[in-house]
Amino acid sequence: MRFLHTADWHLGRLFYGTSLIEEQARLLDQLVSLAMERDIQAFLIAGDLYDRSVPPADAVRLFDSFLTRMAAASIPVIAIAGNHDSPDRVGFGAQLMRDRGIHLSGRLDVAGQIENHSVKLEDEHGPLHIYSLPFAEPAWVREHLGRDDLRSHESSMAALLDLLRDQHPAGTRSVLLAHAFVGGSSEEAQETESERPLSVGGTDFIDASVFRGFDYVALGHLHRPQRAGSDDIHYSGSLYPYSFSETDHLKSIHLVEMDARGQCQIEKIQLQPERTLRIVEGLLEEILEQAARERGAPGQDDYLLVRLLDRGALLHPMARLREFYPNVMQLERPILEAEIHRGDTSAQPQLKRSPADLFDDFFHEITGEHLSQPQQQAYVDTVEAMNRREREGELERETTT
Ligand SMILES: [Mn+2]
Give the whole-angstrom CA distance, residue 186 versus residue 241: 22
Ligand 1 centroid to residue 129 C-alpha, Å: 25
Phi-psi region at 131: left, alpha or beta (left = phi > 0; alpha = psi -120 to 50): beta
Q: Would you state the pLDDT for residue 345?
A: 53
Taking the centre of ligand 1 as the mean of its atom positions, its distance from the CA of residue 157, in whole angstroms, is 18
Query: How far does residue 360's CA lie from ligand 1's centre (Å)?
Result: 26
Distances (CA, A) of 396 to 144, 281, 400: 25, 37, 11
* pLDDT given at position 399: 47
How far is the C-alpha of 243 from the C-alpha of 10, rounded, in Å? 12
Q: Report the candidate in 18, 137, 108, 221 with the shortest Cα–Cα distance to residue 390.
A: 137
Distance from the alpha carbon of residue 369 to the mean position of ligand 1, in angstroms: 35
User: By three-state DSSP, how is residue 38 classified?
Assistant: coil
The three-class DSSP label of residue 353 is coil
Instruction: Give the residue from 126, 156, 370, 160 showing the smallest Cα distance to 259.
Output: 126
Ligand 1 centre and the CA of 53: distance in Å? 12
Tell me, what's the pLDDT at 194? 86
CA of 296 to the centre of ligand 1 (A): 34
Per-residue model confidence (pLDDT) at position 86 = 95
For the chain, 401 residues long, give each residue's pLDDT as a single digit of tens: 999 999 999 999 999 999 999 999 999 999 999 999 999 999 999 999 999 999 999 999 999 999 999 999 999 999 999 999 999 999 999 999 999 999 999 999 887 667 789 999 999 999 999 999 999 999 899 999 999 999 899 999 999 999 999 999 999 999 999 999 998 887 888 888 888 888 776 688 999 999 999 999 999 999 999 999 999 999 999 999 999 999 888 888 999 999 999 999 999 999 989 999 999 999 999 999 999 998 888 889 999 999 999 988 899 999 999 999 999 999 999 888 777 776 655 545 445 677 788 888 888 888 889 999 888 888 888 888 888 777 776 655 544 44
Would you state the pLDDT for residue 231?
Answer: 92
Distance 82 CA to ligand 1 centre (A): 7
Pair 202, 358: CB distance under 8 Å: no
At how many degrees (to 10) do helices 284-293 and 317-324 cross? 20
The one-letter amino acid code at 267 reads E
CA 241 to centroid of ligand 1, rounded, Å: 11
pTM score > 0.75 for this model? yes
Question: Position 150: which residue type?
Answer: L
Measured distance CA(12)–CA(16) in Å, rounded: 13
> Residue 28 has what pLDDT?
97
